[in-house]
Amino acid sequence: MNSTWVFWPLLEKCPVDSLNFSHEHGQLSSLQKQAMITLLETKGKDKRYIENWRPISLINVDVKIALKALAKRLEPILPEIVHHNQNGFIMGISIFDVVRTIDDILELAETTNRSGILVAIDFKKAFDSLDHSFLFKVLEKFNFGLHFLQWIKTFYIDISSCVLHNGFTTDLFCVQRGVR
């Protein structure tokens, strides 16, 4: 057994029962719904500018484990639903693959004497701006089962966050966009 999971048999019942209860009732406990947002500096960038800081949401560990389990279940079908031209945030693809593809396209156009337009789209802060109701509709369109959709809704319905800065937190606020 992997040493990371030595204590799991002793601990699993409580978080599993808690999450299953949440799934059956369609919402997490109040603490599971909450996240704390803090900022991480981007190394080598000027700290005086807000765009050089990256927000990260610190969420309840049992929710994080459950979300990871759902993500792992999605991995086998992602190649079927994500277009092969998608490059960002795809396991096994790096920025160097994107550069190589662009270089290949430009070389092909040059050697075949073809003109064309090359378009690269990068949605800045795409994960931060994803509307939850849109997420639910997309999952329904892709025919994800009701059971899976209920899990996703459970993790996104009535969630809130606060911001941690200099050891102080803001009041909680409702979160309707972004992914956990």
**pLDDT per position as a tens digit, 5-29:** 788 888 888 888 999 999 999 899 9
| pTM recorded for the entire structure | 0.75
At residue 7, φ and ψ (nearest 5 deg) are -90, -5
* Inter-residue contact 54 to 44 (CB < 8 Å): no
Distance, in Å, from the CA atom of 23 to the CA atom of 177, rounded to the nearest integer, reads 21
Mean pLDDT of 66-84: 86
**What DSSP designation does 131 have?**
B
Predicted confidence (pLDDT) per residue in 87-97, tens digit: 766 777 777 88
Mean pLDDT of 145-158: 94
Q: What is the pLDDT of residue 1?
A: 56
Those residues whose C-beta lies under 8 Å from the C-beta of residue 157, and which sit 6 or more positions away, are 26, 27
Phi, psi of 112 (to 5 degrees): -95, 0
CB 177 within 8 A of CB 131: yes
